[in-house]
Structure 1
């Protein structure tokens, strides 16, 4: 009797280039994505499984939303509040082999939504040139990142940044745990807990009765959450 083939883990893609020049096809998809398809139950489930999207498309989503909504990032704040709560729960492991079990909890269980649909840097789309130009405008994302930098910079992954920072994004944390480089997850759990705490306040600030209650540190939590879930190189490249 033939045994079952081992279940393959989804491959988490790195961006082919660390700039963020989105194709017409990517912008076309993201335009409709931010209009409401992000709320589809099947879409949300895929985003949960993939910890959002790959690095390129996660930052692409944030930049397109910021561009078309002039910095109003309610949708991303709600999504990443959810993901960081899941990350916080992933570290609540008791008993033996805690680091390995936490590592399994934070692994992606599915591919990037857009990569699976074969959207990439050369994708074409039926979209007006003016909308493509607007979707490629990084100024709103860059303005938010500059404004909040004193807070999110302390969360940047040392592997992504190429420096000696002990912080790790989710992907590099998985890699370091698997190689036995990291065994004590308490500082990483503390970082996730801090991001989750602040992004909760930021997401709530979009609700009636809470407008204006967020601080700059709370706004920075969205940047930190995207960086932790998917990686930092793309953001760092557009901030040079």
Structure 2
């Protein structure tokens, strides 16, 4: 295999900074379990699109077989969404929208972490932690389980489910039937991610399915928005399609995982 094929893959734009990677190196396995931090993430409805993608990239690069931290984060937010959808009275849509609205900014952005932030970490660690290869493999393996959750408003892709942000931006109130459908879908997604979280316990190892693992990608996109996550996915599909054809074709939409 050539050196070009084994080189770390990076397409996130702008690239992750050393400051972002340095912080994420320990955040998921440390600060995430801090009560004030968890509350900040809940009130902000998780990280922004960029930092959601950053969390998935870094965790898959460093701990591809132990994504417990990201699962805890997004399962916690989905459980909050389930609670928001629990209102079942004539004004349920207004109360649910209020509950789904962030009251704080992205935790990472509020700390000043962006593409220009510098961090003190070895160059080799940066290269390892910012390598996108493992996340692409995870998304390809679980594609069939998360594709139906891609927000058409975020991406222009057909089908899918509106993400949390575009539900809030909808101009018209939901009809009761649509509200109930959305409520049921979020509940099923939370159940799937809950099974994936449980599978990290010793007594339940191996009990999760690919669909349960796919719920991590679906939850991240639904909570934060699909724009950057979908761009990340389609960029990888374009690169793979071009590689297979010798660079003479361009993939305009990733409707199937790269092979």
Match of residue 35, structure 1, among 18, 29, 33:
29
Q: In structure 2, what is the equivalent of residue 161 of structure 1? A: 155
Match of residue 196, structure 1, among 172, 190, 194:
190
Match of residue 53, structure 1, among 41, 47, 52:
47
What's the secondary structure of 2:202's corresponding residue?
coil
Match of residue 63, structure 1, among 54, 57, 65:
57
1:96 offset after TM fit, Å? 2.3
CA contact (8 A) 1:168 1:188 kept: no
CA contact (8 A) 2:147 2:160 kept: no
Give the number of equivalent residue pairs: 222
Match of residue 228, structure 2, among 224, 227, 234:
234
CA contact (8 A) 2:45 2:223 kept: yes
Q: In structure 2, what is the equivalent of residue 85 of structure 1? A: 79
CA contact (8 A) 2:93 2:173 kept: no
CA contact (8 A) 1:81 1:196 kept: yes
Relative contact order, higher structure (CA 8 A, sep 6+)? 1
Match of residue 213, structure 1, among 194, 198, 207:
207
1:19 offset after TM fit, Å? 3.5
Residue ranges of structure 2 left out of the alignment (5+ in a row): 1-10, 235-259
- What are the residue-to-residue correspondences of 1:67-216 with 2, within 5 Å? 67-165=61-159, 167-176=161-170, 179-180=171-172, 182-183=174-175, 184-216=178-210
Structural RMSD (CA): 1.6
CA–CA separation in structure 1 for the residues paired with 2:31 and 2:226: 26
CA contact (8 A) 1:71 1:140 kept: no
Q: Give the TM-score taking structure 1 as reference length.
A: 0.88
1:166 offset after TM fit, Å? 5.5
Deviates more, 1:201-210 or 1:124-133: 124-133
CA–CA separation in structure 2 for the residues paired with 1:188 and 1:76: 23
1:20 offset after TM fit, Å? 6.4
CA–CA separation in structure 2 for the residues paired with 1:186 and 1:55: 27
Q: In structure 2, what is the equivalent of residue 12 of structure 1? A: none
